Amino acid sequence: MPSLPEAVTVRAAAKVNLELLVGPRDASGYHALATVFQAVSLYDDVTVRRARRCSLTVAGRDAEHVPTDESNLAWRAVIAVGEGHPEAGPVAISIAKDIPVAGGMAGGSADGAAALVAADALWGVGLSRTELHRLAAGLGADVPFSVLGGTAIGTGRGDELAPAMARGSYHWVFAFSDEGLSTPRVFAELDRLRAERGEDVSAPAQQQPEPEVSTAMMTALLSGDAEAVGQAMHNDLQEAALSLQPRLVDTLAIGQECGALGGIVSGSGPTCAFLAASHEHALDLAVALTASGVASDVRRAQGPVPGARLIHPGKEQ
């Protein structure tokens, strides 16, 4: 039997929701979703190393805002994989972050997904896909997609996944905000806005139709038509994110003025995601967004990219 490694590094990508439809809230406080996820080329790297005692360190973008205790999703992931496996011992976890924290791009979920895959490889647990999915869904609604990557449809809490029939590669520009948004707070704000309009936000699910991804988005992805994808982009959480951070309206307006094929708040925000027509168009959009001063940082990325994957399986000396 080949010997197991001393350390493993796994890379996991950020996501954008091309379409995000939010249905009613159930008794557990979660909302029924229909979403199209796409993994994009902004990455966190998680290294899990055998150690005498457990520890966690974080470096990179927004590192100071990331918890370094057992509440970190990477720590929780390692514990989840180790349960019931005597070969699991203490590990030192180090996270190199490039995905913004509380940015609506599943940064914490990426770290959780990466740590699941890393711990599995470190200890040679040999998790099945079903088992990996179960552990991922137990960590958070976005974690299963962070494991899978690519372009996928999410239903249920967003954790029931089916790969989407999608062609083409997409050029993205992301405008970050210096102030994060808490995901539960954004869902709660959407409920508040809906209740204010007289909509029933927590009716029993069977009395309200489940949200469904639009035919327009599925057809656009199938044909790889970026312009049609841009037109079909939609996020039900956007009004709530704009209500909590009104200055995002300016960010979205700049993208629109610069001819973005589509511009929406990414997930629960506050990051704004713009779809560009080409590499050159993405450069122009990024320059315009940077010059306008509306964003704390602007980054370009490509999608789709793979989910959590081993980048350093080698044995350490």
Ligand X SMILES: C[C@](O)(CO)[C@H](O)COP(=O)(O)OP(=O)(O)OC[C@H]1O[C@@H](n2ccc(N)nc2=O)[C@H](O)[C@@H]1O
Ligand Y SMILES: Nc1ncnc2c1ncn2[C@@H]1O[C@H](COP(=O)(O)OP(=O)(O)OP(=O)(O)O)[C@@H](O)[C@H]1O
In whole angstroms, how far apart are CA 31 and each of 23, 98, 152, 211, 236?
6, 28, 19, 10, 12
Tell me the residue nearest to ligand X as measured from the CB: 140
| C-alpha to C-alpha distance for 170 and 154, rounded to whole angstroms | 19
Rounded to a whole number of angstroms, the minimum distance from the CB of residue 264 to ligand X is 12
Between 173 and 288, CB nearer to ligand Y: 173
Residue 245 makes contact with ligand X by CB under 6 A? no
Residue 67 makes contact with ligand Y by CB under 6 A? yes
HEC secondary structure over 93-128? EEEEECCCCCCCCCHHHHHHHHHHHHHHHHHCCCCC
Tokens of 163: 């790969």
Tokens of 115: 């740590």
Cα angle 253-104-159, degrees, rounded to a multiple of 5: 130
Q: For ligand Y, which residue of 105, 132, 229, 289 counts as binding (CB under 6 A)? A: 105
Residues listed for the chain: 317
Beta carbons of 79 and 70 less than 8 angstroms apart: yes
Residue 149 makes contact with ligand Y by CB under 6 A? no
Catalytic residue among 15, 44, 120, 236: 15
Nearest to 222 by CA among 18, 4, 13: 18
Residue 67 makes contact with ligand X by CB under 6 A? no
Beta carbons of 181 and 270 less than 8 angstroms apart: yes
- Is 108 known as a binding-site position? yes
- Is 77 known as a binding-site position? no
Rounded to a whole number of angstroms, the minimum distance from the CB of residue 105 to ligand Y is 5
Catalytic residue among 45, 111, 120, 142: 142
Rounded to a whole number of angstroms, the minimum distance from the CB of residue 297 to ligand X is 20
- Is 177 known as a binding-site position? no
- The window from 31-39, 213-221, 282-290, 300-308 that contacts ligand X (CB under 6 A) reads 31-39
| C-alpha to C-alpha distance for 181 and 293, rounded to whole angstroms | 20
Q: For ligand X, which residue of 8, 9, 16, 35 counts as binding (CB under 6 A)? A: 35
Residues in touch with ligand X (CB under 6 A):
17, 20, 29-31, 33, 35, 106, 109, 140-142, 157-158, 183-184, 187, 267-268
- Which parts of this chain interact with ligand Y (CB under 6 A)? 66-67, 71-74, 95, 101-109, 111, 142, 183, 267-268
Where is the binding site for ATP, in residues? 100-110
